[in-house]
Amino acid sequence: MTVHEVASGIVQVQLPLPFALRSINAYLLHDPDGWTVVDTGLHTADGEAAWNAAFTQLGITPKAIRQIVLTHFHPDHYGMAGWLQELSGAPVYLSPRDAEQTREVWELSPDAEEPTLAYFTRHGVPTSLTSTIVDVVEMLRHSTFPHPELSLIQSGDSIAMGGRQFRAIHTPGHSDGQLVYFAEEDGLMLCGDQVLMKITPHIGWWPNSEADPLGRYLSALEDLATLPVQRGLPGHNRLVEDWSGRLHELRHHHEERLEAMLAAVGSAANAYEVACKVFTMARYTPHEVRFAVAETIAHLELLIQRGLLRREEGDRVQYVPVA
């Protein structure tokens, strides 16, 4: 766990994750009447210890938190929101669509069938892997308890944090309802997982996803390129200092990946077969396999939108080049 100031009144807290990604960046923004938390980490014992150490280092208690703002519903961002809400009594803000997703994904009834099982099976993932993937999802679900009581924040809303007014901006693709927060007065962007350094944000098509996540992600990047961002404060890895340059790199990466996916289809293939050609799947954990397959589906579906592939339905979904 590290705690350091990244802008006036804004402290970055790096919280541990039990994955290859290793950590998530949460942020504490200081105002005269208390602190705002932006994103919260996965709920683990190590995560709790890291937050407690951060509070000690800053000389505050959880009661100093006046609001908790979530960029999106993924477990490494949402997971400790309920725990922090119990400690602080602070409201937790999330977009309407991602609030729906928390109910669909993290509050699944114990007697309901896990939707990822049938989904990944239809896309060619072997049964031996799908059962392990289901176990991973269940572990993540438990790492979101207790669930917070949510308050809604809409795209376009203004929210005071860290002595600034931040405007909420809808940036779908990584999640359907992800919001980033822009303070135009000094060009600061709390960019969640929309723009990351070193790695590309995961853009996957999941059982509960809205249509065409990759197309919507690329469109959102075009919109973000028009903003005068001086520094991006991302959910993972180092700060984004060259905003327009990084947006260009992300767009270029996905165009290259689309070409690779199209070539990997050959005469016909399911998403798992394509993923095995494009990614080094033999080295991946089940957690990483599910991300690779979901990302592959997102790219293949955009190739359908572009008229380069068609989908053949059946027990397994097949992707076939358009003659």
Q: Which of 101-115, 173-187, 297-311 has the lowest mean pLDDT?
A: 101-115
Is 20 a residue whose pLDDT tops 90? no
Question: Which among 210, 216, 289 is positioned nearest to 254, based on CA atoms?
Answer: 216
- Six-digit token string for 27: 């942020």
The reply to whether omega before 75 is within 30° of 0 (cis) is no
Query: Which secondary-structure segment (H or E) carries 158?
Result: strand 158-161
Read off the DSSP letter of residue 275: H
Domain that holds residue 108: 2-321
Measured distance CA(65)–CA(54) in Å, rounded: 13
Q: pLDDT tens digit string along 138-183?
A: 999 999 999 999 999 999 999 999 999 999 999 999 999 999 999 9
Query: Model's pTM, two decimal places?
Result: 0.96
- Each residue of 3-19: b (16+ CB within 10 Å) or e? beeebeebbbbbbbbee
Question: Which among 158, 132, 13, 20 is positioned nearest to 80, based on CA atoms?
Answer: 13
- Six-digit token string for 233: 């404060």
pLDDT at residue 1, rounded to an integer: 66
Long-range contacts of range 183-186, CB-CB < 8 Å, 24 or more positions apart?
A: 184/227, 184/228, 186/7, 186/230
Measured distance CA(227)–CA(223) in Å, rounded: 8
Total count of domains within the chain: 1
What are the Cα distances from residue 298, in Å, to 13, 40, 43, 218, 291?
Answer: 31, 27, 28, 12, 11
Q: pLDDT tens digit string along 49-98?
A: 999 999 999 999 999 999 999 999 999 999 999 999 999 999 999 999 99
CATH no. for residue 159? 3.60.15.10
Q: Is 171 exposed, middle or buried (0-12, 13-18, 19+ CB in 10 A)?
A: buried
